[in-house]
Chains A and B, each alone.
Chain A
Amino acid sequence: MATKSKTYAELRAEFDTLVSQLQDPECDVDQAAKLFEQAIKAADALDKHLQTAENRIAKVKLDTLPAADGKA
């Protein structure tokens, strides 16, 4: 089963978490090296998302508005 691709907000949250872990003074150098590598991958994923994702527009005419719960 195909996994749902992550949203920008989810990818950004991952990146921000890695950066904040990197900035933790308790983080030793070995751990920092691993986190930095992960942060680079997260930044690449963000870049790819922004380059490839498209804005999706669903138009709804007022006189044909479906019910708010999605039912017609």
Chain B
Amino acid sequence: MVTGDATPLFSVSDFVGLVNQAMEYAFGSVLIRGELANFRISKNRWVYFDLKDESASVRFFGTVYNLPGPLDDGMVLEVRGTPRLHPQFGFSVTVQSMRPVGEGSIRQAAELLQAKLAAEGLFAPERKRPLPYPPQRVGLITSSESAACADFIKILNARWSGLDITLADVQVQGEAAPAQLVQAVQWLNQHAVPPDMLVMIRGGGSADDLQAFNNEQVVRAVASSRIPTLVAIGHEVDTSLAELAADVRASTPSNAAELMVPDKSREMMAIRLQLDQSYQDVIRRLGQQRQQDGEAVAHAAYLVDQRLERERREVEGLRQLVRAYDPFVALQRGYAIVHDETGRLVRSASQLAAGTSAVVQVQDGRRRVVVQPERE
């Protein structure tokens, strides 16, 4: 409708629709930096806050999924969103992404998130799992173009062989980084043949450059990975929350490669040493067995000796017994043995008729005698 002075007249709804259409056409999305004020979360889901500077304030609306972590009024944020005129509640910017900016705000956000996640036990030592050593399949999450990635691969190639590495090429800084890092962790975890371990690396940078690794969603993704994780972000002095949530933290990407796999020349030296020790074991056992064999022979000889001695004693006993029955022993005591003419042993006087001869044997010889009749 057009009024008499050519000024268009709208219904309220039409006007709201037109403004939204014009803003969408003019901006698409906007990036606004300002100080956080009136921050509140409703029903654990909806997020309301203002961004302000010295002379203006703008309202924002989003969900908890947009949050990089816990926030506090006074922090400086950079928020990407779409401006919108709500039919009932007026103008606000619907949040697409948000992040703290400036060293102070970044540090404060990280401290708040660290306290929150520590209270949930995400960094607890008892959650830490050992890494497979060495792994066979590795899921590597980093930017393939980065110097950190090149260093990592170079050291890995120098130290170890035969690894299957799936490199999830992600942005490691900037607005898209947190979502890509989370997606990479989840994708590798759901892989049909999952890697033995995940490695997330990034080289050094400013607090702003590294803040994706202090993002709540990223830290939670690392902590909830079913696959053991190794995270190395920045230089030795930098510690991100993703590193604290990882099973193992390395001080630098190069250090991560060193922790992951042994040096192959040292490994082979250790194997040869083990082989050498086994050889020494075999030699020692051979010596022991020879000694045991010698001892066994000596023992057998002892048993044989004992047996022979026992038998010798038994023979001696028998010999003495036989000696006791020896008739010649009786001859020594004065007895005599008499045989008749036919050589039969005389056991009865009736065997000796008068006039016949007999042979009488005494101790020292024998004599033939003639039998006389017995005197009355």
Contacts and interface: CB of A to CB of B under 8 A. Distances in A.
Contact of A56 (B164, B268, B279): B164
Contact of B275 (A23, A39, A68): A39
B278 interface: yes
A57 B153 contact: yes
Contact of B282 (A33, A51, A60): A33
Interface in A13-53: 15, 19, 22-23, 25, 27-29, 32-33, 36, 39-40, 43, 46-47, 49-53
Interface string B154-184: 0011001111111111110000000010011
A60 B275 contact: no
B134 interface: yes
Interface in B101-157: 134, 136, 140, 144, 153, 156-157
B168 A57 contact: no
Contacts, number: 106
Interface residues of A, number: 37
B71 to A, nearest CB: 27
Contacts of B285: 25, 27, 29, 32
Contacts of B156: 55
A19 B165 contact: no
A51 B271 CA distance: 14
Contacts of B267: 50
B187 A65 contact: yes
Contacts of A8: 134, 136, 161-162
Contact of A49 (B162, B183, B286): B162
Contacts of B169: 59-62
Contact of B168 (A32, A55, A60): A60
A47 B275 CA distance: 13
A19 B192 CA distance: 35
Interface residues of B, number: 41
Contacts of A27: 285
Chain A CB within 10 Å, residue with most, of B156, B166, B193, B271 = B271
Nearest to B164: A56
B271 A57 contact: no
A9 B163 CA distance: 11
B281 interface: yes
Nearest to B162: A53
A20 to B, nearest CB: 10
Contacts of B153: 55, 57
B281 A22 contact: yes
Nearest to A54: B161
Chain A CB within 10 Å, residue with most, of B140, B162, B167, B268 = B162
Nearest to A8: B162
Contact of A43 (B161, B164, B166, B272): B272
B274 interface: yes
6 contacts: A23-B281, A28-B289, A36-B282, A39-B275, A56-B165, A70-B193
Given A36-B282, A57-B153, A68-B190, 16 more contacts: A22-B278, A23-B281, A28-B289, A32-B281, A36-B279, A43-B268, A43-B271, A53-B162, A55-B157, A55-B160, A58-B165, A61-B169, A62-B170, A65-B183, A68-B187, A68-B192
Interface of A: 7-9, 15, 19, 22-23, 25, 27-29, 32-33, 36, 39-40, 43, 46-47, 49-62, 65, 68-70
